[in-house]
């Protein structure tokens, strides 16, 4: 049997593109009532991203993975805190006013 050698960049880029399209269609097909729980799940996923970014930023010395890991930590932190703020604001809209 012949082995097919695939460039790792092409493989990872293909997965990235598939994730973009799947994410787009999943988010736009969600009803408004499910939007708030979906935002909460997205925030939970971002916390997992921070763990991976900490691992990437952890090695000693300055390297590209350390720089990208630090950027990922910052962006995921903004996403987590901003997402929770948006979720709290959306949930407050459903509370009855006195």
60-83 pLDDT per residue, tens: 777 787 888 788 888 888 877 877
Query: Do 13 and 57 form a contact (C-beta atoms < 8 A)?
Result: no
**In which band, very low, low, confident or very high, does the pLDDT at 25 lie, cut at 50, 70 and 90?**
confident
pTM: 0.52
Confidence at residue 47, expressed as pLDDT on a 0 to 100 scale: 75
Q: Taking the domains of the chain in order of start, what are their residue ranges?
A: 8-93
Cβ(50)–Cβ(79) below 8 Å: no
Q: State the Cα–Cα distance between residues 73 and 46, nearest whole angstrom.
A: 10
């Amino acid at each position: 049997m012949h082995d097919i050698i695939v460039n790792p960049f092409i493989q990872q880029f293909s997965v990235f593109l598939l994730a973009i399209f799947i994410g787009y269609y999943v988010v736009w097909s969600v009803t408004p009532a499910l939007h708030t729980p979906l935002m909460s799940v997205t925030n939970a996923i971002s916390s997992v991203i921070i763990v991976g970014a900490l691992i990437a930023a952890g090695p000693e010395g300055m390297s590209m993975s350390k720089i990208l890991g630090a950027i990922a930590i910052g962006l995921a932190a903004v996403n987590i805190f901003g997402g929770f703020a948006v979720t709290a604001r959306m949930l407050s809209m459903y509370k009855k006013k006195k």
